[in-house]
Every structure is written in C-alpha cells, then in structure tokens.
Chains A and B, each alone.
Chain A
C-alpha cells in the first residue's frame, strides 16, 4: 500500500526525517518495504497486516506515529458548512440491522461536477489513483485519508426519494459501476431505492445512479456493513474493491458520520452547492466493544518486568483507549477500546499493543531459569553413529524428495501407498514407500554428468499404511556405482583371485556387503546371518539379506541389470537398504575390554575345492560344530574359479587361527585340531588341495 509522507505529517508533527520515520514505523509493525521520492514528497510502500484495517490509511498511520513519538494527533477538521435549508430528513430504512447496523447520509444540492482541485487530484495521483470528478474523488480521498469507504449517488436518479438497505431478491439484477450486469441472490445485501437496487452494499455502487457531469444533486452514503456478508458478496461476484477490502476487515463504526461529513466538505469546497438539512444518521444496532480489564501484573508476567505504569497508560491513551482505574493501588484498569480497533478484544491484545509501541528491541534479552534436563530423541545418537560411519566409509549424504511415481512404488516396494490428492506430476504422485527410486535417480543424475565414482547414502522416512494407520518407518539407503566400489578396494585385499567381469562384480558385491556389515556392527547385532531372498529388483546372484536373530534387517546387492537398463543407468549400480525400525531396537555397541591373550596364536591355511552349492557359511558351521576351544577364527583368505578348477566348483583358501589360554600350543595340539577341521570339510564334500 502506498502512503504519502506529507499526508501523514499533515496530522502529526514528526521531527524525524523520512528514513527514520520509515524505520520507526517498521519497528512498530507497519513495515515500510520501499521508499520513493516524488517531487517534494516521499511515497512509502507499506505492508499493513490484515488485522489492522485502521492503519490502512494516512490518519491511522499518523495515529501510530503519534503514539510512538508521544506527539499529539491533530483532530480531523469539522464540517465548516452549515445547511442552507432544513426540511425533511432524507428517508433511509435499514431492513437488515444485523448486516447493516449504521447508515449515514447527506444531501448536497446544486453541485457543479468537474475536475477536482489540484491538491486533491495530486494526492490521488501520488498513490496511483486516477482522478475522475470532484464527487467521486472526494470519496476516494476520504478512503485514503481515514480509511472509510463511502459512496456518492446522483440524487435525481434515486427513484422514490428514499433508500432502503435490504437483501436482494433472488434473481434481481444490478449493473455495477464497472458496467457488468450482475444477477443477485437473496444472500446479497443491497442499497436500494423505492424501485431497484442501486449498490451492492460494501462492494460497488450501481451504474445507473452514478455521478456524471449532468449531476446536480448528490446523495452521500457512509455506512457500516457486516464483514462476513461483504466478504461473501465479494467472493460470490468475483469483485474485490478497495471498499470491500476494508469492510471485510472491519470498518470504524463511529467514523460513519465523520466520514460522511468529510466527503461533504470536499464536495462543497470543490463544486459549490449547499447542504440540505443535517446528517441523517440511522443507527439500527449499536456496535460497541466490551471493555477489557487490564492487569499490570499480567503485563509483567507475559512481557517481563520493567515497563512503568505511566508509560503503559501513555501508550494506550495515544492509541485512543480510555483507561479507568479499577481495583486498588493502580494495579488494574478497565480499558475502553476505540471503535477503529476491532482487533483488540482481549487483555493479551492490549499487552501486545503495549509491547509493540514500547519497542520490542527495548526489552532485554534474558534466559529463563529452569530445572530439569535435556533429553535427546531416542534415535538421535543412533542416527549420528550411522551417519558418521557412512561418511567415513566414503558415502556422501544426500536428501531426495519425498514423492515417487506409482510405477516405482510398485517395482521397489509392496506396501499400501499414501496417495497424494494434488500431485504435481505422475512422477511425484505418491509419498515414497522406499528410498530406492530416489537413490537411483540421484546416482543416475551423477552418471549422466560424467561423475562415475559416486557413493551416496540417505537416512529418511518412508510412508505406508499398516491397516488403517499411517506409518513412517525410518530407513537407510546406500547407493554406489561399481566404479566407486572398485576404486575403494586395494587390489591386494580382493578375495577373488580369478580374472574377468564376474569376479570383479562379485568383489563389488562383497564391498557393499562389507559396508553393510560395518554399519550393522555399530549395534549389538550379535552374529549376522545371510540368505538370498532378495526382491526381484536385485541381481539374482549378487544380492543377499542380512538377518539378526533370524529377522531380516538389511538387503543389498547389485541392481537388476534389466532395471538398470530401463532406467538408462550408464554403469552397474549397487544398493543397500537397512530397516532402521528394526535396527534401532538394538542398543549401540560399546567397546568392552577383554583380557589380552597371554600366549601366541598360530595360523594354518587349508586349500579346498568345493562345489558351488556349498557356501562358506556351511564350512564355518562345520568347523565350529567341532567344538575346538582353541579355534579363534575361521576365515576365507582367497577364492578362485577357472583354470584347473572344474566348472561348477571353486577353490577356497581357508585360514584358521588357533590359540590357547593355557599355554603356547604344541605341535600335536595344532595337528589334532587341523586334522579334525580337514575331516569335517571333507565330510562336507570338499576336496583338499595339496
């Protein structure tokens, strides 16, 4: 909203310059967003909150400035003309007191309709308002001066010499000032003459009764209309006007006759003519705000101590409130709120006014005393641990959007989905039930920009229905290009000594498996077991699930090549998904010191060939079932396929660590243990290589 600095200063003698005035208005809640010099004046672009219709005009802002600077606000000039003739008051009948509790009117005869004088037209132009003629401009001027919408009719076009404020008849027609013929409903309030509607009340006047250069006699209307009714009519007819804007937010009941007089003043000053009779002020229903009790101890309780009683009184009085001491010892007031402040209804509203005009930044910055403790959310530390470890493993943290397509949801999950009512696109039409599509999109984004060494992780919620209830289980997702996995593993540590793409892919799989194990072991996961029951979007041979106590906690592996091709991924991609809902049930693992071994350990290697059907887990189980106390570790050191190893089989170098707590192991103990292990492995179907 544009406001003129000169016009504001007409009502209050502010010493501060425009920059300071703008800053001070902003600090009391009337934000000056911009300033533009216009000749000798400055135009402020002011953001006025929707709850402050009283400040959407120059007099209201002047009042605010007067309250802040503790200066007197100049009163509005009273009407300086007297009626030339008396006579019967112009008849005005209010049929809907609840929708129109007050209506003021004045009649001016023998007016000359012409251009407004410069001081009126110039001010309107400064605010980007177009001057039309002196009568219409008068209403526009008063709107910007004191914020009250008014209207002027050509009196001779009012049929039957009376005004009636009534509901429209269903289907009644009215051509409004913009030339549009409108069909009204019985919910519309109209100002009407004896024959027809002449205005859509509070919104726009009628075309047929408007002021033209032929007009000789003018009828001025200034009324108070119910905000909800004006808002409804404005919406119903798609007509938002300066008038409806103010009526919707609450006009000033007491300014109805005052604004009627101001319009009359301007018309008489500019166009001559005479007042006929006095003001006709019909009050169908008195609108008065209930007085509010203000307790000073409540001001202290909410704002903090320190504002003097004298300053509180001063602020409220400058805003137009009347303070009547109540109770004893000046601790309580009954406050009568001015008619233009419909937004002040409760004690807390008064307290805000006090704080606002005292100056928010004058309050000291304090910290409240408290007893008790700070409790982190239960999963905060667990997330922190996972995040640090994933970063340490070389995964960059990423955040993807919460929405995926139906197609992706069906490919990568099997839960009941949360559909969006207003999706922006099919690609973003459901709340994500899995982190995988988002991860694949991000990996693909990087691959398409020639970044092929990419590892990302995301910790986030997915969304699903479980029965009737919505759930947002936490998940972790890792994504890695095969190049990044290859780059991360020193060649010397590769398990598979074979050559060829299958061996390399298997190594990549073991890399991401190792990363998953690393993350799971941050928790008291016990011994992990693995199976192959991964969903179809994983490669059949290079994927697995990790289980803790028989429950699947993670699944990981190479993305199915068919899906990778369909998504146009330029490289093989490996994924891992961790069910944090399950994982977070476990406590974090904390280091526990164990007594250092007193006696040296020995290692023995056994080279075997096994059929592909025998897994390392089988071999490990066979070895541990022997119950050899000195068996401390049983690991695969190397595997090999091809060469002299028959197809359908693989060669594995198993490394055993033996150690005793009773003494250095003797050769016969070592041999005994080795023999048992070899026998067990042969019973499993392995052939020892020598």
Chain B
C-alpha cells in the first residue's frame, strides 16, 4: 500500500522463516499465502464471499465455510475461517473410526482474516488510503499445514527432503 494506490487486489505467496525447532508439524521454513483487497466498496460480506468462493475452488463445490470471531492486531473485525472437513465431509467420522484431521469436529481451521483496521490505513493515508473512503479485507494462511491435512502427510519435513519416493506419490 506504500507503493500502490487503491484499488488493490493482491495475492502474495511466499516462504517464511521462523526459529521453530523442526518436528512433524513445524519447520523453520514454510509457506504462506496472504491476500489484501482494498477499494471503496469492500464489506465483511465480501470477505466471506471471496474466501468461500476460493475454498470451493480449492476443495470442491460442496465444501462449506464457517467464520468465528478472533483477534489480530491488523484487522477489525477479525475472524478465523474453517472449512467442512474435506476428509470426512464434516461428519467427524470415517466409517467407524474418528476422523483425525478435523479432530472429530467436522471442521478444519484454514486461515485468519478480517477487515483491515482503519489504523493500518492511517499509515498509508498519503498513498491514497483514507480510512473514511476505502475499506478492505486481508487474509493469511499457512499452506504446508493445509497440504498436510489435504494429502494425509504425517510429517512436514517430507516436503523439504526431496525424497523421490515421496515426490512420486504426487505424480
């Protein structure tokens, strides 16, 4: 927003690095996708609709989204978005066994999102972001975690080892 005036609709994938000791679900390097949409007509309903549309494209048209209030410093209102479990379909069970990916709740947390806090626009007001005139939403998700769940991978380290036995499973 410092460099570009509104309207702004942007999706940014990238690598992130954190000093997390590596284990089955943590890696010091992983991937995130962030999105930002700012214009003169963007509402909370648009945030939900845009993400619902994207989730259906990603997981299939029968998947449902569910939003819960949350707190992030840069958004107000803030939300966590869940999708109906793409493994068990939302029932929480796989045959007789409990569904592990969704911990039997039938929902999987996918991302955090919210309407951009007016304080954030104040920082870039001079680039054209008057909080009284524009509004927008933002979201961010951890890609590796979603891939772990979607493909049933039990160890995030597998993504970064280059083991051909693993890679060929996705051919």
Residues of A within 8 A of B (CB): 26-29, 31, 49-51, 301-304, 346, 348-349, 351-352, 355-356, 360-361, 363-370, 372, 374, 396-403, 422, 424, 428, 439, 441-443, 445-446, 449, 451, 454, 456, 461
Whole-angstrom distance between the alpha carbons of A27 and B67 in the complex?
8
The 23 sampled A-B contact pairs (Cβ below 8 Å) are A26-B68, A28-B69, A31-B68, A51-B71, A304-B43, A346-B118, A352-B78, A355-B44, A360-B77, A364-B49, A365-B48, A365-B65, A367-B53, A370-B9, A396-B171, A400-B160, A403-B28, A422-B19, A424-B21, A441-B162, A445-B163, A446-B162, A449-B165
Known: A31-B68, A352-B77, A449-B163. A303 touches B45 (CB 8 A): yes
Q: Which of A28, A50, A456 contacts B71 (CB 8 A)?
A: A50
- Give B41-78 as 1s and 0s: 1 = Cβ < 8 Å from A's Cβ atoms: 11111101110110000000000011111110000111
Q: Which of B8-52 contact A (CB under 8 A)?
A: 9, 15, 17, 19, 21, 27-29, 37, 39, 41-46, 48-50, 52
14 additional A-B pairs beyond A301-B135, A398-B162, beta carbons within 8 Å, are: A29-B69, A29-B71, A302-B135, A303-B43, A304-B46, A360-B69, A366-B49, A369-B41, A396-B164, A402-B17, A403-B28, A441-B162, A445-B163, A456-B162
Q: Which of B50, B70, B78 contacts A367 (CB 8 A)?
A: B50
Pairwise interchain contact A364-B45, C-beta atoms closer than 8 A? yes
Known: A346-B118, A368-B50. A304 touches B28 (CB 8 A): no
Pairwise interchain contact A356-B71, C-beta atoms closer than 8 A? no
Pairwise interchain contact B68-A360, C-beta atoms closer than 8 A? yes
Whole-angstrom distance between the alpha carbons of A19 and B123 in the complex?
43
Q: Which of B50, B76, B167, B171 contacts A398 (CB 8 A)?
A: B167
Q: Which of B19, B46, B52 contacts A368 (CB 8 A)?
A: B46
B164: chain A residues at CB < 8 Å are 396, 446, 451, 454, 456
B76: chain A residues at CB < 8 Å are 348-349, 351-352
Pairwise interchain contact A363-B44, C-beta atoms closer than 8 A? yes
* Residue B86 at the chain A interface, CB threshold 8 Å: no
Whole-angstrom distance between the alpha carbons of A451 and B164 in the complex?
8
A370: chain B residues at CB < 8 Å are 7, 9, 39
Whole-angstrom distance between the alpha carbons of A346 and B42 in the complex?
20
A461: chain B residues at CB < 8 Å are 15
The interface on chain B, measured as residues whose beta carbon lies within 8 A of the other chain's beta carbons, has a size of: 47
B32 CB, min distance to chain A CBs, angstroms: 14
Residue of B nearest to A351 (CB): B77
Pairwise interchain contact B7-A372, C-beta atoms closer than 8 A? yes
A60 CB, min distance to chain B CBs, angstroms: 15
User: Nearest 3 CB-CB pairs, A to B?
Assistant: A442-B162, A29-B69, A304-B45
For the residues of B in contact with A, the DSSP-based class is mixed
Whole-angstrom distance between the alpha carbons of A368 and B23 in the complex?
41
Pairwise interchain contact B44-A302, C-beta atoms closer than 8 A? yes
Residue of A nearest to B77 (CB): A352
A301: chain B residues at CB < 8 Å are 43, 135
Pairwise interchain contact B45-A363, C-beta atoms closer than 8 A? yes
Residues of B within 8 A of A (CB): 7, 9, 15, 17, 19, 21, 27-29, 37, 39, 41-46, 48-50, 52-53, 65-71, 76-79, 115, 117-118, 135, 159-165, 167-168, 171
Q: Which of A29, A49, A424 has the most chain B CB within a 10 Å cutoff?
A: A29
A398: chain B residues at CB < 8 Å are 162, 167
Residue of B nearest to A431 (CB): B17
Known: A403-B29, A446-B163. A360 touches B67 (CB 8 A): yes
Residue of B nearest to A461 (CB): B15
Known: A367-B53, A400-B160, A402-B15. A424 touches B28 (CB 8 A): yes
B52: chain A residues at CB < 8 Å are 365
Residue of A nearest to B79 (CB): A360
Residue of B nearest to A298 (CB): B132
Residue of B nearest to A439 (CB): B162
Pairwise interchain contact A361-B70, C-beta atoms closer than 8 A? no
Pairwise interchain contact B68-A397, C-beta atoms closer than 8 A? no
B15: chain A residues at CB < 8 Å are 402, 461
Pairwise interchain contact A29-B28, C-beta atoms closer than 8 A? no
A363: chain B residues at CB < 8 Å are 44-45, 48
A445: chain B residues at CB < 8 Å are 161-163
Whole-angstrom distance between the alpha carbons of A295 and B41 in the complex?
17
Q: Which of B28, B29, B117 contacts A348 (CB 8 A)?
A: B117
Residue of B nearest to A391 (CB): B171
Whole-angstrom distance between the alpha carbons of A75 and B77 in the complex?
29
Known: A304-B43, A356-B69, A366-B46. A396 touches B37 (CB 8 A): no
A351: chain B residues at CB < 8 Å are 76-77
A401: chain B residues at CB < 8 Å are 27-29, 160
Residue of B nearest to A398 (CB): B162
B66 CB, min distance to chain A CBs, angstroms: 6
Q: Which of B29, B39, B46, B77 has the most chain A CB within a 10 Å cutoff?
A: B77
